[in-house]
Chain A
Amino acid sequence: MHLLDAVPLINALILGLSIASIWLIAALGLTIIYGTVGVINMAHGEFIMVGAYTSYALQSSIGLPFLLCLPASFAVVALVGLVIERGLIRYLYNRPLDTLLATWGVSLVLMQGVRLIFGSDPKYIAVPQIFQDNLAFGPFGLSVFRLVVIAITAAVVAATAWLFYRTRFGMQVRAVMQNKEMAASFGIDADRVYMITFAIGAGLAGLAGSLFGVLAIVLPTMGTAYVVQAFLVVVVGGGSLVGSVAAAGLTGELQSVFALFSNDTFARFLLYVLIVVFLRFRPRGLFAVAKARR
């Protein structure tokens, strides 16, 4: 590759940050569910989709402003997650492969259910005018909405970190993660910890969904577009919060830079192959969760 003008590269790096933030917020819920509960949630993409539809429905029926749709989506999808955890997942905690399959069944049901309710034609979520512009500093630029996504992602990551590392609940979570029986003997209700974590993870997916509905389109099948990336972020990161942040940053930047030098499709292929090779040498990911599961 001959020497390129630096501007496109820097722009690609800025954009990479945005792609990373999108993948990170898509993967955040998956991370805490996997990292804490050990469940690989195949319905994660559909949680995202349900979040997007929640925002759409609230906006089009009662005209809720977009910024209020975000917490509303979080709440609704967290509730959905709660119901699924209580009704299904909790019976499968010691069967990791089966949870993977059962949650795939859940994803089918959610996707088809939404299709029955809303139909399969695309919907869209409106955002305030100020989000639909571009910020430019000389030759460098990024859209306002992408900045909003970066900011929200950063805020949510910070809040999650605070919850898991600075609160009493977080301490309980970490205790349960390290040794469920020992934690239980100290009076921690592991069942409750799992339930709340699962609901929060689902809620985060819902929040991501209402952001994605703005970036692209609201469709019953929209979740599948994000879920593979989300999985890869979790697996490469090793299931810890810091791991996911690092993995999303790395893969997002690589995707953006590869796409600059080749094309989007080939960039994706390259990324998948790199990830498989990487996992060969670090099967536990960048920052594995230090725990003795079961």
Chain B
Amino acid sequence: MVTVLLLGAGAYYLVYRPLDEQGQFSMELWGPLIDPGNEVFSLVWARLRDGFVATFIAAALAIVSSLVFGTGLAVLRIQLKSLNKRRFTGLIAPLAVALRGLSWLLTIVSRLFVEIFRGLPVVITIFFVASALPELGVDLGDILWYLVIGLTLYNMVVIGEILRSGMEGLPGGQREAAEAMGLSPFQTTRMILLPQAFRIMLPALISQLVVVLKDTSLGFIISYEEVLRVSGQIIQALPEPNPIQVYAVVGVIYIAVNYALSKLAEYTQRRLARGRKTAGLPPEKPPAAITAEAETALN
């Protein structure tokens, strides 16, 4: 009870009073956002809707391409790992050496790729994708694609690592059984390991969707017209600029959408856990570092 009172008093004196004194609660500032009778109300919301649509389009494209390329990356790294153990004994010596060298090289390149794009701020990746690609003569026309590429470079690496660790975390018997049945390493990955990894990692993958959705807001750096940039334009176009109000409304919508998504992730996790129990398998937990990364990656 005391805590509730304390919190209430704190909020009143530290937040409400100073804001009120500055007139931050005036209808002139809030009207365009919350009063349907306001003359620009429908215009403002039409622009915000366009902004959110642009945000969702970029996020959807980015998550799909991250999934596709991330899966490819995970399979590649798993294949390379088993390839590196092979000696190519059946082949003539120079060819065997060349093949081994090639697989080592690919291993190193893919590892570097992962470390670099996992370690770089997404905002930097996006900015430089958008400015370096045209410089190199690659012109994609729409800014959307630069944003999607920037987001994909980062998220494919994260998703790739989620899937890879999912596959490596599977009981060794899965792979052994598959090989005993005569499946090739690639068939084993595609038919046995990958589907299970997807299942285990589904909650982490949905969490990654939240990350992508939030990251889309970084499109402002290359002037992609997602919702935050549109908000900026609205604020400037209104006779009474109201940044605090507009960003508060956009923030609340963001939080609601992402909250729903993370609830969905929790729900799938519970369902999966239940399914597994009935199947009599030990509950597989994704390595903590990976899921945490998925959940905390850049805003």
Chain B associates with chain A:
no
